[in-house]
A = this chain, B = another copy of it.
């Protein structure tokens, strides 16, 4: 059996940021444990975050009416998907675990990371509604995914009575997006307010993260209602 592969989609501009350190710690630990690790460093790649028409080099399916989803599907069929998307899809195909590593922006993903989802989670490859292949029957049911992120606010801001609202609620649209593709969702790894704590506390955060990753593939995914229990 070949080594498990981990794909980290990393969205921070600054290598010396705490997110950078968290990413480096993951790469180090996972390699030490014998896993293959791949990192997509979105800012360094100058990843195109927008679903603009410019990305498609092939002939559009409908030159008179740009429909991003339809053009993605068409380009997929014709083999003319944008080069950068193809590269990410290849990484995704061989990944056993996907980690999204980011600083929270406006209770959500930074735009560049949202753009990665918008552009890379293509029909047929990552989900196929027409064939009922989504959620628990999605193409990626053998893969796991985890959100790993930092915040500016402390945990109390994200409690059920916090000003930002319950963290589970904020993460639901992102988790459910990954669910559409079939991913098993591991509990998120949340590092609250690294800027507000002491250096030793931050170092503790990094070593706890490393400890968690050593047994990450043994973790039980979160429970979600199985797709067969829905009407659609």
A residues bordering B, Cβ < 8 Å?
A: 13-14, 16-17, 43, 46-47, 49-53, 64-69, 105-112, 114-115, 117-118, 121, 135, 152-153, 156-157, 161-165, 169-170, 172-174, 176-177, 180, 227, 230-232
Contacts and interface: CB of A to CB of B under 8 A. Distances in A.
B165 A176 contact: yes
A16 B64 contact: yes
> Chain A's interface: helix, strand, loop or mixed, by majority?
loop
Give the one of A49, A50, A157, A227 with max B CB within 10 A: A50
Copies in the complex: 2
A68 B111 contact: no
Nearest to A154: B232
Contact of A106 (B117, B163, B164, B230): B117
Contact of A156 (B67, B153, B231): B231
Given A108-B108, A162-B232, A165-B172, 14 more contacts: A16-B64, A17-B65, A49-B112, A69-B152, A106-B114, A111-B112, A115-B115, A153-B232, A156-B231, A162-B230, A163-B230, A164-B176, A165-B176, A173-B173
Contacts of A169: 169, 172-173
Contact of A232 (B49, B163, B165, B231): B163
A24 B114 CA distance: 27
Give the one of A14, A106, A110 with max B CB within 10 A: A106
A53 B173 contact: no
Contact of A173 (B106, B153, B161): B106
B13 A232 contact: no
Nearest to A121: B106
B111 A51 contact: yes
Contact of A17 (B43, B67, B111, B165): B67
